[in-house]
Every structure is written in C-alpha cells, then in structure tokens.
Structure 1
Amino acid sequence: MSEHQTHTNPEGQFVKRTVEVGGITKRELINKLHASSIRLNKYGEKLLLDDKFLVSKNKYHLKTVELTVHSLGFQQGANTSDLFRKAKELGLSLCPVELGPFLRLVYTDQHEHESNVKNQAPAGAVTIASEPLYQHDDFPKGFYLRRIDEELWLRGYTADDLHVWNPEDVFIFCFKGETETGQ
C-alpha cells in the first residue's frame, strides 16, 4: 500500500508518500521482490541477506518525503552527515533500512534516466536516507531505487564519509513521529 502527493516549493517539487512496511518475514519479502521482477545488484543482495537486516513482524505505515540535496539548502552539494543533520533540523528523520524493499514494491512509476557515472548517484536514482547497518566503508550503506531499461531495481550503494552528493541527487526521509501501526 502506498499513496503519494507531489508538491512544489521554491526549490522545486517534492513527493510525500505513506508506505506500508513490515508484517511479513524476510523470506516472504525477498519472494515478493522476485515475483515482482525487482532486480537487485550485489550490494542490494548483501544488505537484504545480512543478519542485521530485519523486517518488522508488525505492519506499520511510514510518512516519507522525497527531495533533492538542493532543496535541503545545499546548492553546491553536501556529504552524508551534513545532509542527515540538516534533515533532522527540518524535522525529518532517517528511514528504517527495511523501507527500501517495501518502497520499491509500490513505487513502480519511477522515471528512467540515462546515466553512466562512476562514484556518483546515477541520474534518476532515489536514495533512502537510513542509518547504515555497519560503519565500515566496504559494506553497503543503504538502498537506492532506479529504473534501468524498463526494469525496476533495488540497489545497494557504498560511500565513505567524504563523498559529496550532488545538488540534484534525490533522497527519501521520514517525517519524525509519523509512524502509524497497522492491523
């Protein structure tokens, strides 16, 4: 289940969504991704299969917002810790890492963009702002969503603390205190 609304502010558009998360096992979640033809890169698989990646037994709903680095106030880009700090100042919070697969299952109308860049977020990618499962740089920090050749992808990414995100890079954050438990 997901509902979304698009809004415009002086820096551009942002999207609010309510996404249902949890209520199934990790195996059921992985099976749903496969049944929906969701593609995974090796980092996405590594995140999903790690013992620290947990799926809530209870359903709940998260209210999220999708916005650019620029709309957070960084016209020249920013590193991850600066982005996350600014989001917190604005009343946003990091998303649980489990949001990525659930959002990918319902966000099926993502636009496709050509992109062959290295060491940067690809054009059209939507990164889920979440606390990494591990602090070392060689383990994926989180998920991002992308459409490539008409296929939906749930991809993991790596980035160190020095990585600077571009102003047009898109992140999803949660609204603080906007979690609703489901039945």
Structure 2
Amino acid sequence: MTAESENGYPHVPAAARTVHIGGLTRSQLRQSLQNAGISLNAYAEELFADERFTTSDQPHTVETVELTVGELGFMDGAAAGEIFKRASALGLAACPLELAPHLRLQYTDQPEGSAERSVQHEAPHASITVASEPLSECDDFPKGFYLRNIDGVLWLRGYRADAVHVWNAWDRFVFARQTDWQGNCHES
C-alpha cells in the first residue's frame, strides 16, 4: 500500500531544466557522447543499437521537471506505472528516449554519487532516471536511461526493471512538461 502526500508536486520545489534535443542522428548523438568523455554501460549501448531508438530531425527544446518519487506523493515508493500515471495527472509526461543523452551532454555539473553506496536492484545513490516509454516490454531488455556522476566521470547508463519493481521515495525522475511538441524522427 502506498501512502500519498497532499503536499507533493506541484507544491514542492522542483528542478526545472530546458533541454535542447533533436537535429542529430542516433550515431551522431552517440559520437557526441564519446567526444564529451561520457561513459556508457552495456545496457545504454544496447538501447543505442536498437532500431526502435529514434531521434528528432529538427532541433527543439523540452521543458523538464526533476522530482523524487516521494515528491510525486508516494512516500512508500511505487511501481513505474503508478509513478507515470500520477505524473500525467499533474501535467507531466514521459520524455522522448533521446532526451536522456542530450540531458547528459548538457547537465555536466550533476552532484557526485558514491559507487560504494549502490545497492543491487535499487536506483544508485544520486542518480537521475529519465522517465521514458520503454522500447520493449521484455524484462530482459533495458527500459531506459539514467544519469550518474561517479568519481568525476559522467555516465549515461541503461537500466532494466520489471513492471512490479518498486522505486524508492528518494529515487529521482525527470519528466517532460506536457506540451504539444512533436518531433520528426529518423533512425540512424
């Protein structure tokens, strides 16, 4: 059972960012990450390699909001479906998958997290998960990206989680503010 807070978003301060996305192919975006010294894990590489990962032809901006699961009202944590449903009711939406690599390139002063404080099957300390629709419902395929800064190294990492995984109240997510932006997508 999830305890809900009436003082959650939009009544709490939230980190808002304008993220510039689009205008790069998937391979150009991957090259930009490499040129910037951004590290990727195997799950992130798997997402980049998938043909379903598309990018917008035209550059545009996405207004984002970063919140904890608790700030969305789930003080005991919640599964992704509940988190996304609450975010939608509050005027927030899943981000396009390509937002995560662009955010990683633009958000270079992320506070550092400790690799020692990571616990298996939990979002790592000081990580930020970018809320996006998964490319596949298969539990063995990565669901999306998260950002970390470990020992001064910026990471874009993919993650796997099943539909019943409970995110902790302190886990951080980035959502898009709901707008009518639409990007033209291409695949390579």
With the length of structure 2 as denominator, give the TM-score of the two structures.
0.88
Aligned Cα root-mean-square deviation (Å): 1.6
Equivalence map 1:16-165=2 (5 Å): 16-114=16-114, 115-165=117-167
Letter in 2 for 1:119: H
C-alpha displacement at 1:57, in angstroms? 1.1
Letter in 2 for 1:152: L
Structure 1 gap ranges (5+): 1-8
**Match of 1:177, SS?**
coil
**Match of 1:88, SS?**
helix
Check conservation: 1:95, 1:173, Cα contact below 8 A: yes
Name the residue aligned to 1:3.
Answer: none
- Once residues 135 and 180 of structure 2 are traced to their aligned partners in structure 1, the CA distance between those partners, rounded to angstroms, is 22
The structure carrying a bigger strand percent of its residues is 1
- Once residues 36 and 58 of structure 2 are traced to their aligned partners in structure 1, the CA distance between those partners, rounded to angstroms, is 22
Check conservation: 2:10, 2:90, Cα contact below 8 A: no
C-alpha displacement at 1:178, in angstroms? 6.2
- Once residues 160 and 11 of structure 2 are traced to their aligned partners in structure 1, the CA distance between those partners, rounded to angstroms, is 28
Check conservation: 2:128, 2:172, Cα contact below 8 A: yes
Deviations 1:86-142 (A, max 9, x none): 001101111001101000000000011222210000010000000000110000000
Structure 2 gap ranges (5+): 1-8, 184-188
Deviations 1:41-76 (A, max 9, x none): 000010011111111111111000000000000010
| Cα distance change of structure 1 residues 42 and 120 upon mapping to structure 2, 3 Å threshold | same
- Once residues 142 and 182 of structure 2 are traced to their aligned partners in structure 1, the CA distance between those partners, rounded to angstroms, is 28
Count of residues paired in the alignment: 173
With the length of structure 1 as denominator, give the TM-score of the two structures.
0.90
**Match of 2:157, SS?**
strand
**Match of 1:87, SS?**
helix
- Once residues 67 and 31 of structure 1 are traced to their aligned partners in structure 2, the CA distance between those partners, rounded to angstroms, is 29
| Cα distance change of structure 1 residues 134 and 163 upon mapping to structure 2, 3 Å threshold | same
Q: Among the aligned pairs, what percent are the same residue?
A: 48
Name the residue aligned to 2:4.
Answer: none
Check conservation: 1:63, 1:178, Cα contact below 8 A: no
